């Protein structure tokens, strides 16, 4: 940890500068009885201070596994990381000792999870759980740490925080629980926050409030935010850039605006076409045909080829690299030009 904090923070804002967090050609495999599950196959993405990266992709595409690899909370075994780097301010986290890694976890890079009810410990009060960060990592006394917990609960706008610190997770509503989760994650001012589908378990109005809260906290603290989500509506509002995952790979990455205007990968295009749109009310919803790839036995060539409407012969044999479309944009499709030029349905 001393190593990492000694490193210079990258200059503010600039996308091209040395990134705060860089995942580089990451591979994660699970060695199971059924065989080797290749969950992540060469993922690269970066996030800078104050920047929000949205990670999209259908279930099983490796979004959470990548995030867990960054946090270092994968169970190893069965998980194995045969290749790749995860650089935090230039230091490869994968090369740190377990002790140093523990110093980064929760303090410099924090994470919130989808289902706050199961993600909070049912037998401890929320105050105990939040203040634990201060007691364990900052050596604060119980009462000081508890005061900090109240402050944090105020900050994430939980009403009557002072009384409610002594309540247990099950005594809160879903939205409030997620706020507690958020309070706990930002306790030590992490530089990167990973939110793995933070609003999926909540109802729509609450979803918006939680996203707003996250965006606000991010503005205040300039943390880098990795937002894993299924919700393309949320993405458009809060993300700066998007990484689309398929079969454990990034198939397209681009600034939000570019992707929404014209996707450069058939899978992204399929995702966008499957959003219900008011102006197309009554039309049948588009859905990408076929099933997600079998990670035990990925298709040859382009993993998307069995489902791709743009497929050509060479797609079956040649795996497309992530073609650079512009300085900030890439697509892992041999025919990205055709897709880019194609009409939005």
Partner 1 sequence: MGRYVIRRLIQAIPVLLGATLLIFCIVFALPGDPIASLFGDKRPDPAIAEVLREQYHLNDPLLLQYWYYISGVLFRGDFGVNFADVPVSQIMAGKFQITLNLALTALVMEAVIGVGLGLWAALRRGKATDTVILAATLLLISVPTLVTGFVLQLVLGVKLKQWTGADIFPVAGTFAGWRSYLLPGFVLAGVSIAYLTRLTRTSLAETLRSDYIRTATAKGLSRRRVVGRHALRNALIPLITFLGADLGQLMGGAVITETIFNLQGIGNQLFMSVYLREQPVVVGIITVLVLIYILANLVVDLLYAVLDPRIRYE
Ligand X SMILES: Nc1ncnc2c1ncn2[C@@H]1O[C@H](COP(=O)(O)OP(=O)(O)OP(=O)(O)O)[C@@H](O)[C@H]1O
For residue 264, the tally of other CB atoms under 10 A from its CB is 29
DSSP output for 2-36: HHHHHSPPPPSS-TTSPPSEEEEEEEEEEEETTEE
How wide is the angle at C-alpha 291 spanned by C-alphas 253 and 198, nearest 5°? 55
What x/- string results for residues 29 through 68 when contact with Mg ion is judged by CB under 5 A?
Answer: -----------------------------------x----
Q: Of 72 and 320, which CB lies nearer to ligand SF4 in the complex structure?
A: 320
Q: Of 85 and 115, which CB lies nearer to partner 1 in the complex structure?
A: 115
Residue 63 as a binder of ligand X (CB under 6 A): the answer is yes
Q: Which of ligand X, partner 1, Mg ion, none does residue 102 bind (CB under 5 to 8 Å by kind)?
A: partner 1
Q: Which of ligand X, Mg ion, ligand SF4, none does residue 320 bind (CB under 5 to 8 Å by kind)?
A: ligand SF4
Q: Which of partner 1, ligand X, Mg ion, none does residue 168 bind (CB under 5 to 8 Å by kind)?
A: partner 1
CB 230 within 8 A of CB 195: no
Q: Which of 185, 241, 213 is nearest to 51 (CA)?
A: 241
Q: Which of ligand X, ligand SF4, partner 1, none does residue 246 bind (CB under 5 to 8 Å by kind)?
A: none
Smallest separation (angstroms) from ligand SF4 to the CB of 285: 21
Two tokens, residue 230: 């299924």
Footprint on this chain of ligand SF4 (rule: CB under 6 A):
266, 302, 304-305, 308, 310-311, 315, 320, 333-335
Q: Which of ligand X, partner 1, ligand SF4, none does residue 302 bind (CB under 5 to 8 Å by kind)?
A: ligand SF4
Strands (E), the chain: 21-32, 35-47, 52-56, 79-88, 91-92, 109-112, 192-196, 224-228, 241-246, 249-255, 323-326, 329-331
Alpha carbon of residue 245 to chain centroid: 11
Residue 295 as a binder of ligand X (CB under 6 A): the answer is yes
Exposure string (b/e) for 99-117, b if CB count within 10 Å is 16 or more? ebeebbbbbbbbbbbbbbe
For residue 80, the tally of other CB atoms under 10 A from its CB is 14
Interstrand relation of 249-255 and 329-331 (parallel, antiparallel or unpaired)? antiparallel
Residue 115 as a binder of partner 1 (CB under 8 A): the answer is yes
Q: Which of 128, 244, 139, 118 is nearest to 183 (CA)?
A: 128
Q: Of 40 and 165, which CB lies nearer to ligand X in the complex structure?
A: 40
Residue 248 as a binder of partner 1 (CB under 8 A): the answer is no
Residue 60 as a binder of ligand X (CB under 6 A): the answer is yes
Q: Of 38 and 179, which CB lies nearer to ligand SF4 in the complex structure?
A: 38
Q: Which residue is nearest to Mg ion (CB)?
A: 64
What is the C-alpha end-to-end distance of the chain, expressed in Å? 50
Residue 30 as a binder of ligand X (CB under 6 A): the answer is yes
Which 76-105 residues touch ligand X, going by CB under 6 A? 78
Can you tell me the distance from the alpha carbon of 207 to that of 236, in angstroms, rounded to the nearest whole number?
14
Residue 32 as a binder of ligand X (CB under 6 A): the answer is yes
Residue 59 as a binder of ligand X (CB under 6 A): the answer is yes
For ligand X, the binding residues (CB under 6 A) are: 30, 32, 37, 39, 57, 59-65, 78, 295
For partner 1, the binding residues (CB under 8 A) are: 71, 73, 102-107, 110-111, 113, 115, 118-125, 132-133, 136-137, 168, 170, 181, 184
């Amino acid at each position: 940890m001393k190593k990492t904090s000694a490193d210079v923070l990258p200059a503010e804002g600039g996308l091209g500068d040395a990134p705060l967090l860089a995942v580089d050609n990451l591979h994660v495999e699970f060695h199971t009885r059924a065989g080797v599950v290749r969950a992540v196959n060469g993922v690269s993405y970066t996030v800078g201070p104050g920047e929000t990266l949205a990670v999209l992709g259908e279930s099983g595409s490796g979004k959470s596994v990548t995030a867990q690899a960054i946090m270092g909370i994968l169970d190893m075994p069965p998980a194995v990381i045969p290749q790749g780097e995860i650089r935090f301010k230039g230091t490869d986290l994968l090369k740190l000792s377990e002790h140093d890694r523990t110093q980064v976890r929760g303090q410099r890079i924090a994470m919130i999870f989808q289902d706050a009810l199961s993600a909070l410990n049912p037998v401890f009060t929320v105050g105990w759980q939040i203040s634990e960060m201060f007691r364990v990592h900052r050596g604060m006394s119980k009462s000081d740490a508890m005061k900090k917990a109240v402050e944090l609960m105020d900050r994430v706008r939980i009403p009557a925080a002072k009384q409610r610190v002594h309540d247990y997770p099950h005594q809160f509503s879903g939205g409030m629980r997620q706020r507690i989760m958020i309070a706990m994650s930002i306790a030590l001012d992490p530089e990167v926050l990973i939110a793995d589908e933070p609003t999926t378990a909540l109802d729509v109005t609450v979803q918006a409030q939680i996203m707003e809260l996250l965006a606000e906290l991010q503005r205040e603290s300039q943390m880098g935010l990795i937002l894993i989500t299924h919700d393309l509506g949320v993405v458009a509002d809060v993300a700066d850039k998007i990484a689309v995952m398929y079969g454990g790979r990034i198939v397209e990455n681009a600034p939000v605006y570019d992707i929404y205007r014209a996707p450069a990968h058939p899978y992204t295009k399929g995702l966008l076409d499957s959003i219900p749109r008011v102006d197309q009310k009554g039309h049948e919803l588009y859905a990408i045909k076929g099933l997600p790839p079998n990670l035990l036995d990925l298709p040859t060539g382009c993993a998307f080829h069995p489902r791709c409407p743009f497929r050509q012969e060479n797609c079956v044999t040649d795996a497309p690299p992530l073609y650079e479309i512009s300085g900030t944009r890439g697509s892992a499709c041999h025919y990205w030009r055709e897709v880019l030029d194609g009409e939005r349905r």
